[in-house]
Chains A and B, each alone.
Chain A
Amino acid sequence: MSELDQAQTTRHIRVTVNGVHYERDVLTRTHLGDFLRQDLGLTGTHLGCEHGVCGACTIILDGQPIRSCLMLAVQADGAVIRTIEGLAQADGTLHPVQEAFWDKHGLQCGFCTPGMVTTLAAVLEADPTMDEVAIREAISGNICRCTGYETIVDAALQAASRMRGDH
């Protein structure tokens, strides 16, 4: 392949991540997960497979849960992103999903956890009435090798209840 035009291999992008505005030059071949981890130092989002199955790299982009390994960083120009690091409030109050994971032992090694929590935060914010079947379907794109999923489901049900405002 001949020398590539600079504009085609590097681009300047602007993204908002967890409320913070960033401007960076990125290689166009770099995927969004690597951009968040390496360029922005947000290592909470993990890479488990880099082929779009394990879900560990899930982030919330423009309100939707997506696999950051399946998007080029350059495609996130102009996007508003939330990652695991941005789910808790500024004062440290945990997101109900985070709180529930802690309460219900929803994590063991913690590697799949950012993707799991982020996926659940996104889907439960959109619909906190989800039942167990819907929750299991919602996390069917997130693989956990440690927990067997049951405590994750329990955590999701607890978070959903809190997010509905149940007492």
Chain B
Amino acid sequence: MKASAFAYHDPKTMQELNNLLGSLDNIRILAGGQSLMPMLNMRYAFPDHVIDINHIADLSGVAMTPAGLRIGAMTRQRIVREHPLVLEHAPVLAEALHWVGHVQTRSRGTIGGSLCHLDPAAEQPCIAALYDAVLHVSGPRGARDVAMRDWVLSYMTPNLEPDEALLGLTLPVWSGMQGHRVGHGFHEFARRHGDYAIVAAAALVSLDAAGVVRRASIALAGVDVRPVRLEGAEQALVGKGLDQSLIAEVSAMAASIEMMEDAHITPAYRGRLAQTMTKRALTDALNRATGGRNV
């Protein structure tokens, strides 16, 4: 299984990249290669041009900014997973990355690659949705920001013009207000470790000192072409004391959203998984927010 022939380009700057993107047709961007290379080797993709963006400076890195945790698109998943800033400010991202592929995948795979490939069951877009992340795009017409909820145009299609590229994303982190505690949870159902999720759920809750939910975010992967925020469930949580019965009640909402169909998984089963993963993610979030004192 050998890739078909292509012209290889390795721009060193964003300017060069923009020029290439603006002037060439039938292109594939090579970032971590963990999704593109299998497609090339199996000849599912046969681009005329492969643009390797691994040599462009300043596309990787993790930093705290006033707007949140900024992660460069080319930051390797391995780095993101272990980065002290991620562990401190967005630990649910590190937890999700535990489920992404295998150690070899994460050595090369990039967060930007996952955000542009947009497999419906991918974990990193799910986390981006959880946080209402802002994605930073650059192109010949300048830079622009795209809200995560506007990022997935359709199946595996990001909000990118043909001559644009993703620079990175910013996660507006949940800082604990005085006396509030943030808890996170991530649960995924996959056939085997490292497989794409069938359904994954990510949850963030902020509880005040009395255990009342002040803020909640629940995102599902694998139910639609884009990660889905369970806004109805989030609203049902705010202002209430979080306990198992409330968790069960809002998790049931996950089963009733419209599910995508495929040849192997029935909507009913997918809904069951959505409900179960949501319940487990919220339970973990509750335990983390309360130091495990509540069940």
- Complex contact A119–B9 (CB within 8 A): no
A1 within 8 A of B: yes
Q: How far is the CA of A50 from the CA of B38 in the complex (A)?
A: 7
Which residues of the other chain, A, contact B50 by a CB distance below 8 angstroms? 28, 72
B293 within 8 A of A: no
Closest to A62 in B: B107
A44 within 8 A of B: no
Range of interface residues on chain B? Answer: 20 to 34
Which residues of the other chain, B, contact A46 by a CB distance below 8 angstroms? none
B42 within 8 A of A: yes
Known: A119-B104, A141-B102, A141-B104. Is A29-B37 also a contact (CB below 8 A)? no
Closest to B193 in A: A140
A82 within 8 A of B: no
B244 within 8 A of A: no
Q: Mostly helix, strand, loop or mixed at chain A's interface?
A: mixed
- Complex contact A31–B41 (CB within 8 A): yes
Closest to A74 in B: B8
Mark out the residues of chain B between 41 and 86 whose CB falls within 8 Å of any chain A CB in the assembled complex: 41-42, 48, 50, 52, 54, 78
- Complex contact A4–B7 (CB within 8 A): yes
Which residues of the other chain, B, contact A119 by a CB distance below 8 angstroms? 103-104
Q: How far is the CA of A143 from the CA of B69 in the complex (A)?
A: 36
B34 within 8 A of A: yes
Determine how close the nearest CB of chain A comes to the CB of B244; give it in whole angstroms. 27
B162 within 8 A of A: no
The count of residues in chain A whose C-beta lies closer than 8 Å to any C-beta of chain B is 35
- Complex contact B193–A52 (CB within 8 A): no
Mark out the residues of chain B between 1 and 57 whose CB falls within 8 Å of any chain A CB in the assembled complex: 1-10, 30, 33-34, 37-38, 41-42, 48, 50, 52, 54
Closest to B108 in A: A66
- Complex contact B5–A9 (CB within 8 A): yes
Known: A5-B7, A52-B34, A52-B38. Is A67-B1 also a contact (CB below 8 A)? no
Q: How far is the CA of A138 from the CA of B28 in the complex (A)?
A: 30
Q: How far is the CA of A83 from the CA of B78 in the complex (A)?
A: 21
Which residues of the other chain, A, contact B41 by a CB distance below 8 angstroms? 31, 50-51, 69
A151 within 8 A of B: no
Mark out the residues of chain A between 130 and 145 whose CB falls within 8 Å of any chain B CB in the assembled complex: 136-138, 140-142
B140 within 8 A of A: no
- Complex contact B194–A140 (CB within 8 A): yes
Which residues of the other chain, A, contact B141 by a CB distance below 8 angstroms? none
What does the 1/0 interface line of A1-19 toward B look like (CB < 8 Å)? 1001100110100000000
A75 within 8 A of B: yes
Q: How far is the CA of A88 from the CA of B20 in the complex (A)?
A: 44
Contacting residue for B5 out of A1, A34, A142, CB 8 A: A1
Which residues of the other chain, A, contact B101 by a CB distance below 8 angstroms? 141
Which residues of the other chain, B, contact A58 by a CB distance below 8 angstroms? 104
Contacting residue for A52 out of B9, B30, B37, B192, CB 8 A: B37
What does the 1/0 interface line of A34-70 toward B look like (CB < 8 Å)? 1000000000000000111001001001001111011
A123 within 8 A of B: yes
Determine how close the nearest CB of chain A comes to the CB of B238; give it in whole angstroms. 36
Which residues of the other chain, A, contact B192 by a CB distance below 8 angstroms? 140
A94 within 8 A of B: no
- Nearest first, the 7 A-B pairs at minimum CB distance are A141-B102, A28-B8, A8-B7, A51-B38, A64-B107, A70-B37, A50-B1
List B residues at the A interface (Cβ < 8 Å).
Answer: 1-10, 30, 33-34, 37-38, 41-42, 48, 50, 52, 54, 78, 101-105, 107-108, 192-194
Further pairs besides A9-B6, A70-B34, A71-B37: 14, Cβ < 8 Å: A1-B48, A8-B8, A29-B4, A31-B41, A55-B104, A58-B104, A65-B107, A67-B34, A72-B8, A72-B52, A75-B54, A138-B103, A140-B194, A141-B194
A-B contact pairs, 6 of them (CB 8 A): A5-B7, A9-B5, A50-B41, A66-B107, A67-B105, A69-B41
